[in-house]
Amino acid sequence: MRKILLKFLTIESVEISTVDLEHALRVATAVLLVEVTRADFNVELSERQRLRQLLEQQFKLSMEELDALLEQAEADADRLVSIQHITRLINQHYDHAMKLRVIQMMWHMVYADGEKDHYEEHLIRQVADLLYISHSEFIQARHRAEASGDL
């Protein structure tokens, strides 16, 4: 993912294929979801299952594609120093509705283990701010995730 992200973040104009861009956005989204699972320092089986479910539903992936995506996302999350390069990529290429969807998926991850941790909420708030999601939209996304029965 680093190589793909560097293509997007360099000053020179480089042609990026649609497939590379789509893959980079999927990985960026998955990394954010992985980070939510890790935010409370305890990754539950229910969180891993919900992560797979959300990514499969959002991106319509086969099991092999999903496994590869998660492997890359977890490796990238292990090396992650800052979420700003991820949110920059998302800001450049996702519309507002998709950015909201990312925040809502993050909230679904929070409730996958039945508990909302303040570290998880802080991370989502930080991402929402970087994606220019208003506070009211942030709260609405949380309420939609709560109402969906993930608790």
User: Number of structural domains, the chain?
Assistant: 1
- Distance separating alpha carbons of residues 104 and 145, to the nearest angstrom: 6
Read off the pLDDT band of 17 (50, 70, 90): confident
Q: How far apart are CA 109 and CA 23, in angstroms?
A: 21
- Give CA–CA dist 106/30, Å, rounded: 10
Q: Residue range 57-63: average pLDDT? A: 95
SS3 string, 50-74, reads: HHHHHHHHHHCCCHHHHHHHHHHHH
Q: Tokens 């998926």 belong to which residue? A: 105
- CATH number of the domain at 27, please: 1.10.3680.10
Question: What is the pLDDT confidence band of residue 3, given thresholds at 50, 70 and 90?
Answer: low
Angle 93-95-96 (CA atoms, 0-180°, nearest 5)? 135
Q: Angle at Cα 13 formed by Cα 11 and Cα 14, nearest 5°?
A: 115
pLDDT of residue 36: 95
Domain containing 36 equals 2-147
Give this prediction's pTM.
0.85
pLDDT of residue 43: 87
pLDDT at position 12 over 60: no
pLDDT one-digit tens code per residue, 94-145: 999 999 999 999 999 999 988 899 999 999 999 999 999 999 999 999 999 9
Mean pLDDT of the chain: 89
Q: Which pLDDT belongs to residue 1?
A: 61
Instruction: Pull the structure tokens for residue 108.
Output: 């679904």
Residue type, 16: I
Could you tell me which residues come within 8 angstroms of residue 11 by beta carbon, excluding any fewer than 6 positions away? none
More confident residue, 6 or 83: 83
